Amino acid sequence: MGRNGHALRISVIGTGYLGLTHAVCMADLGHQVLAIDVDADKIAKAARGEVPFFEPGLEPLLRKNLESGRLRFTGSFADVGEFGDVHFLCVGTPQAPGGDADLSHLYAAVDALAPHLTRESLLVGKSTVPVGTARLLLAKARAAAQAGDLVDLAWNPEFLREGYAVRDSLTPDRIVLGVTSGRAERILRQVYATPLATGIPALTMDLETAELVKVAANAFLATKISFINVMAEMCEAAGADVLQLADAIGLDERIGRKFLSPGLGFGGGCLPKDIRAFRAAAAERGVNSLVGLLTTVDAINLGRRARVAELTRSAVGGDLAGKRIAVLGVAFKPNSDDIRDSPGLDICDRLSAEGALVTVHDPVAMANAARVRPGLRYVDSVGEAAQDAEVVLHLTEWSDYRAIDPAALAEIVAKPVLIDARCTLDVGLWREAGWTVHVPGRP
Catalytic residue positions, numbered: 270
Sign of the torsion angle spanned by Cα atoms 61, 177, 2, 38 = negative
* Distance, CA of 246 to CA of 262 (rounded, Å): 8
* Distance, CA of 410 to CA of 417 (rounded, Å): 9
* Distance, CA of 226 to CA of 266 (rounded, Å): 9
- Strand, helix or coil at 53? coil
3-state SS of the chain: helix, strand, coil percent to 5? 50, 15, 40
- Nearby residues of 4 by Cβ (< 8 Å), 6 or more positions away: none
* Cα–Cα separations (whole angstroms), residue 8 to 86, 89, 96, 187, 270: 7, 16, 35, 9, 30
* Distance, CA of 122 to CA of 141 (rounded, Å): 10
Q: For the CA atoms of the chain, what is the radius of gyration?
A: 24
Strands (E), 75-209: 86-89, 121-125, 151-155, 175-178, 202-205
Q: Which residues of 329-363 are buried (b: 16+ CB within 10 A; e: fewer)?
A: bbbbbbbbbbbbbbbbbbbbbbbbeeebbbbbbbb
Output DSSP code: residue 253.
Answer: T
* Distance, CA of 150 to CA of 147 (rounded, Å): 5
Longest dimension (CA), the chain: 75
Sign of the torsion angle spanned by Cα atoms 292, 294, 298, 303 = positive
Antiparallel, parallel or unpaired: β 436-438 and 86-89: unpaired
